[in-house]
Structure formats: C-alpha cells, structure tokens
Amino acid sequence: SLFESVNLFLSLFSSGGGSKSKGAKSAPLIEYMKPAVTNTVGPALGILALKNIPYSSQVLVKSCKLVPVMIMGTIFGKKRYSLKEYLCVALICLGLVVFSLKKSAAANKKLSEPNLVTGYALVAVNLAFDGFTNAYQDKINTTYKATSSLDMMCWMNFFTGSFLSIYMFGATGVGAELVGFLMAHPASVADVLGFCLCGALGQLFIFLTINKFGALTLTLVTTTRKFFSIFISSVFMGSTLVGQQWVGVALLFAGLLWNMQIKSASKKAPKKAD
C-alpha cells in the first residue's frame, strides 16, 4: 500500500506533462476499477504460490503471460493474431510442460508447503488476472485516446492502493503489524521508502510502454527480464534446476524470441495502400 501511495504521488506530481489530442476524451475513473481489482488480487496469489513451488518455477510460469494477454486481447480488444504467433504460443506451452514434468528435489526441500498442483494453480490464476489487466488497459488506451500513461498509472495505483488499504487496515490487522514493525525498526523505513521509490519510477516506464506500444510489447520486455531472473536464481541463489527443466526454459524462451522477431518484422514491413 505504501508502494502504491508513492506511485500515486509521482503520478499526480507529473500529471501536467501529458499531451492531449483535441476532441479526444480521457477514460472515466470507473473504467480503472476493473483492472485495478485484478491488479490487486493477481500479484498476491503469485506470492502465495511461492510457498508451494520454487521461485524459478513461478517465474517461468509467469513468463507465459503472453498466452493470457493474447486470449484476453482477442476477447476484450477484438484483436487478431497470425498463425506464426499461435505457433509461438504452442512452443511456449510445450516448454512449460517439459519444465513442469520434472521435479527438482533440491529446490522442493526449501519450500514451506510444497504442493505443485496448488502452486501452479495459484500462478495460473495470477496469469489470467494479469492478462485481463493488460488487455483492459489496452482497451482503455484504444477507446479513450486522450488517456496518457500518467493517467493510467495514477488511477490504477489509486484504486489498487485503496483496495489494499481496505484489506490491510479494515479487513485484517496486517496494516497495524506493518506500522508496528516500522516503529520497532525505524532504520527499515529508509529501505522501504527506497524500494517503493524505485518501484514507482520503474512503473513510469511500464505504463509509458503500455501507452505507446501496447501490452504485448510490455509482456515481451518483462519476460526477457524473467529469463535472467531464472538464471541468477539458479546460479547465484541456489535454486537448483535439472537438465530437463533447462530444456523447458530453452523452448519457452525460443518461442518468446521468435514472437519478438515476428513483431519486429511486421513493423518493418511496408503497409499496403488502400
């Protein structure tokens, strides 16, 4: 919730810099509530999944975000994708299946409640919610042309922060525990604020990418980053992967790189005259 508050402050502080098209309308605030709900619940489910599956498994499954983004984009954004793009998705899913069929005993020993079915189910719901969030953000940008990336960031974080605050300080005692911890350890306040500030600045670029290039491009960028998360986790943090799982990782990211190549080629191709 503190992270969302810092995001909101930066968004409001910078909100005067966006350019508005003449005659275009900005999205009404009610439009942000639907994606804000899934944006609130989805990441929480992803964190809960870490009790049941290793971090590398969670990252790999979330790398398949391209799949729900395409599905939700077809449903809500009326988008159409080529056969090659569907083949990319099939390759990504194959990589995920190959990865998931092999268990790593060394990694499972570190889990508090190892349960592959529960873990993967939680991440799958997280993915579906993320797909809806990104697809609906695309729909808002397409429908309301005057909506800037800062508008999107401001109101998404406003509603997400509001929902989290209600949960933390109203429905549960988590918020009071957080305040108590910060008061008992005042030195940690600087670390928390630094974390929130870095996350908020990072989100400026995330929402700018969604606004200028769309949710699918953002997914490809963040998924590429996740490959390095898996690599660093495996090599430096002791999250052990076995040979078959590395094959699954290779297949999944081959599909992602192929998709990136398709997108790049389509942008360079000359547009046909009407």
Please work out, in degrees rounded to the nearest 5, the angle formed at the alpha carbon of residue 82 by the alpha carbons of 79 and 88.
110
In 3D, which of 10, 126, 9, 22 has the Cα closest to residue 65? 126
Tens of pLDDT, residues 141-164: 888 888 887 788 888 888 998 898
Tokens of 35: 């994606």
Give the pLDDT mean for 16-36. 72
pLDDT in the model for residue 36: 92
In 3D, which of 122, 125, 121, 138 has the Cα closest to residue 35? 138
Mean pLDDT of the chain: 76
Query: For residue 78, is it left (φ>0), alpha (ψ between -120 and 50) or beta?
Result: left
pLDDT in the model for residue 252: 75
Tens of pLDDT, residues 196-236: 888 878 877 877 777 777 766 776 677 667 666 666 666 66
- Contact call for residues 140 and 147 (beta carbons, < 8 A): yes
Measured from the Cβ of residue 109, the count of other Cβ atoms closer than 10 Å reads 10
Span of 32-46, 182-196, 235-249 with lowest mean pLDDT: 235-249
pLDDT in the model for residue 61: 75
More confident residue, 107 or 175: 175
Cα–Cα dist 37/134, whole Å: 12
CA distances from 252 to 84, 96, 162 (A): 15, 7, 36
- Contact call for residues 238 and 60 (beta carbons, < 8 A): no
Cα–Cα dist 274/270, whole Å: 12
pLDDT in the model for residue 16: 44
Helix, strand, coil: what percent of the chain each, to 5? 80, 0, 20
In 3D, which of 188, 199, 232, 230 has the Cα closest to residue 96? 230
Q: Is the pLDDT of residue 106 over 70?
A: no
- Taking the whole predicted model, whether its pTM rises above 0.85 is answered as no
Look up residue 27 and give its DSSP letter: P
